[in-house]
Amino acid sequence: MMMCKEATRLMSLRQDRPLTFQERLSLRLHLAMCGACRECDRQFTLLHGVGRRFGPAEDDEPPASSS
Amino acid sequence: MDDKAHRQERLAAVRPRLVSFALMHLRDRSQAEDAVQEAMVSALEKHDSFAGRSGYETWVFGILKYKILDAMRAQKRQGRWQPLADENDDEAIDRLFQQNGRWQPEARPQSWGEPEAAFENERFWQVFDACMIALPDSAARIFSLRELMGLSTEEICRELGIKENNCWVMLHRARLRLRACIEQGWLEGDAS
């Protein structure tokens, strides 16, 4: 069973490269059970958007973050 | 107002954001100012090559990105920083988790409210800036290259001469530290 520390590694990784099927599955399973990690995941996704502050919104739209 | 004066005025208006962007990457005020100065001069000189396809600001930021990467390479050559210098700096991360890999009770992430609303809030950015400054040098630079400049981890590794795996590890740590720091500043301010 994956624990929070490992789950945060995958949450971070998925901001940088697509997860493998196996990684995606174990992360989803963990997130379904862990509220603290769901918050963490939301925050990593938010941090992924901080670049927007420096570019005008018109053409610096980040890719959709839904998984 | 003639065209040139208009352009200069436009650039002057973007300047503070250019400097704060450069500062996040170079972590040195005078080097950041220099990079911005060079970018602004280039922007004025090369104005004819601005095709208007993208927004003007985006175009200027694009020029600045190259100046920042140049300056970063120079910093690296001069031994002013090493990409893997804080690689073994695990302690702060270990403190967030229990031995069994669960969050320490006091480190458990809390809700930040509506995430998108945070970006609209000036205080969020004050906290963010302070937390970026508090990050270890290499973590902050790699995070900036990834999330502010938008380079892929592959590009970052090529640029810095490190392995992609190092990059992912450092980004993971940088994000954990940043979120912990931001949460503290952000929720603390809410309570006061």
pLDDT in tens, A5-57: 999 999 999 999 999 999 999 999 999 999 999 999 999 999 999 988 876 54
By C-alpha distance, the chain A residue nearest B113 is: A39
Contact residues of B toward A, CB < 8 A: 17, 20-21, 54-55, 57-58, 61, 96-97, 100-103, 108-112, 115, 118-119, 125, 128, 146-150, 152-153, 167-168, 171-172, 175-176, 178-179, 182-183
pLDDT band at B71 (very low <50, low <70, confident <90, very high): very high
Residue B114's alpha-carbon distances to A53, B33, B109, in angstroms, are 17, 35, 14
What is the reported pLDDT for B2?
67
Compute the count of residue pairs across chains A and B with CB atoms less than 8 Å apart. 94
Q: Which CATH architecture group holds B3-77?
A: Orthogonal Bundle (1.10)
Q: Which among B109, B119, B153 is the nearest to A17, CB-wise?
A: B153
* Chain B closest-CA separation from residue A67 CA (Å): 17
pTM above 0.90, yes or no: no
Of B58, B59, B56, whose CA–CA distance to B3 is shortest? Answer: B56
Those residues whose C-beta lies under 8 Å from the C-beta of residue B19, and which sit 6 or more positions away, are B32, B33, B36
Dist. CA B14–CA B7, nearest whole Å: 11
Report chain A residues whose CB lies below 8 A from the CB of B178.
Answer: 47
By C-alpha distance, the chain A residue nearest B59 is: A55
Answer with the residue of higher pLDDT: B85 or B10.
Answer: B10
What is the reported pLDDT for A66?
41
* Chain B closest-CA separation from residue A24 CA (Å): 17
pLDDT in tens, B174-189: 999 999 999 999 888 6
Q: Which among A47, A49, A60 is the nearest to B175, CB-wise?
A: A47
User: What is the domain partition of chain B in residue ranges?
Assistant: 3-77, 91-191
Q: Report the topology of domain B91-191.
A: Arc Repressor Mutant, subunit A (1.10.10)
Q: Which amino acid is present at B84?
A: L
User: Mean pLDDT: which of A17-31, B53-67, B76-90, B156-170 is highest?
Assistant: A17-31
Residue B97's SS3 state is: strand
Residue written as tokens 């930040």? B112
Report chain B residues whose CB lies below 8 A from the CB of A36.
Answer: 103, 108-109
